[in-house]
Amino acid sequence: MHFKGQVTPASILEELVLYAQAEPEETEGFRHPSHNNELSPRFLEKTERILSAFEKYVPLKYEVQAPQDTDVEGADIVARYSSERIADGEERHIALRITSLDEVQSNDDLLEKIKADISRSEKYSGARLERYYLLLCTDQRRHGERVRAISAELKAGKTAVTVVEPAYAWFFFTMEDAMIDAVTDKLLYPEDYVRCQAREQVAGIGKRKLILLLSCLIHAIEERGGFTVSDDFLMQDDHVHEFEADDPAGRGRLSEDVSAMEGTFFFRDADVDGFGIYQDSVSAIVAMYYDAKVRYGHTGDDAVHYLHTFLEQSAWSA
């Protein structure tokens, strides 16, 4: 976690923009989206998603806008929210300033321009400004030195400013909704009994086995109306193959994974076409699945990604 104290929409956004780094070469993707046509709308959608997910747990009034007059508000996106459970119901503001690759390349006085925008935002929002996020959406390798200089300068002087460097910004830019929802859930209700039980059910099983278990479970529920999966599905699991493509060091034999999980999660039975899944071993995970289906509409691949994001840390450690 990257924050302390009460969980608010701003603290969830803080966690998400610093959740993980993309590879430096991936930030070349920022060469393509234009500031107005793709970057701003995508980050606005993600900000709305965070507030919407938060609202499903805590009563909240909010609006998210891309101001027409950024010279007044000093940001590309401004979120305003209020809740009786946060700051005694007083309105709070979150500001996001998007710095594109074109701006980094063409603006010699960029740092001073950014500082001026921050000052405008502080003046506009006053004490209501909870956090100002500077998203540096540029090529990390090409502009690394300039990024480091901007980051060092702002981190030294502005406690209310979070600088999101390109590798983090790209990861957030490409982040799935299911991950946003899962991280929101983890932060808002970390001690929820059902969620704690789900973590215990997969504690220490490892990355590959968690992905295999979740994809089989969701397939069994949605496609077969029960808790069985065919041999063919097990041995051709697309989610595991995607994992292996992203992490070659994690490659292995699916047959060995299944054998290792027999007796705990999977079983063979004369009445089962393929493998059965012990329902008691995944009861809390199933409860989380139906909660996410009702709360967010997650099914299929989205449900697998949601559950994986929520449970992966427990699966990696015993």
- pLDDT attached to residue 217: 95
- pLDDT attached to residue 233: 81
Averaged over 286-308, what is the pLDDT? 95
How far apart CA 114 and CA 110 sit, in angstroms, is 6
Q: Tally Cβ neighbours within 10 Å of residue 89.
A: 10
Averaged over 260-265, what is the pLDDT? 92
Contacts 24+ apart (CB under 8 A), 286-295: 286/217, 286/221, 287/194, 287/198, 288/194, 288/195, 288/198, 289/217, 289/218, 289/221, 291/194, 292/181, 295/56, 295/181
Domain ranges within the chain, ordered by starting residue: 9-175, 191-316
On average, the pLDDT of the chain sits at: 89
How far apart CA 79 and CA 45 sit, in angstroms, is 11
- pLDDT attached to residue 1: 46
> Which element (helix H / strand E) includes 80?
strand 77-82
- pLDDT attached to residue 147: 92
Note the pTM of the prediction, 2 decimals.
Answer: 0.88
How far apart CA 8 and CA 79 sit, in angstroms, is 12
How far apart CA 258 and CA 176 sit, in angstroms, is 28
* 45 pLDDT tier (thresholds 50, 70, 90): very high
**Terminal-to-terminal C-alpha distance of the chain:** 20
* 169 pLDDT tier (thresholds 50, 70, 90): very high
Averaged over 262-291, what is the pLDDT? 91
How far apart CA 177 and CA 179 sit, in angstroms, is 5
% of the chain with per-residue pLDDT over 90: 68
- pLDDT attached to residue 28: 93
**pLDDT higher for 306 or 243?**
306
Q: Which of 237, 221, 208 shows the shortest CA–CA distance to 282?
A: 221
- What's the pLDDT tens digit per position in 175-233? 999 999 999 999 998 899 999 999 999 999 988 889 889 999 999 999 989 999 888 78
* 97 pLDDT tier (thresholds 50, 70, 90): very high
Q: Tally Cβ neighbours within 10 Å of residue 109.
A: 9
- What's the pLDDT tens digit per position in 110-167? 999 999 999 999 999 999 999 999 999 999 999 989 999 999 999 877 678 999 999 9
Averaged over 87-114, what is the pLDDT? 91
Q: Which of 81-95, 215-229, 304-318 shows the lowest mean pLDDT across its residues?
A: 304-318
- pLDDT attached to residue 159: 74
- pLDDT attached to residue 3: 46
- What's the pLDDT tens digit per position in 231-259? 878 777 677 666 555 555 555 677 788 88
- pLDDT attached to residue 71: 78
Contact 164, 134 (CB under 8 A): yes
Q: Tally Cβ neighbours within 10 Å of residue 111.
A: 14
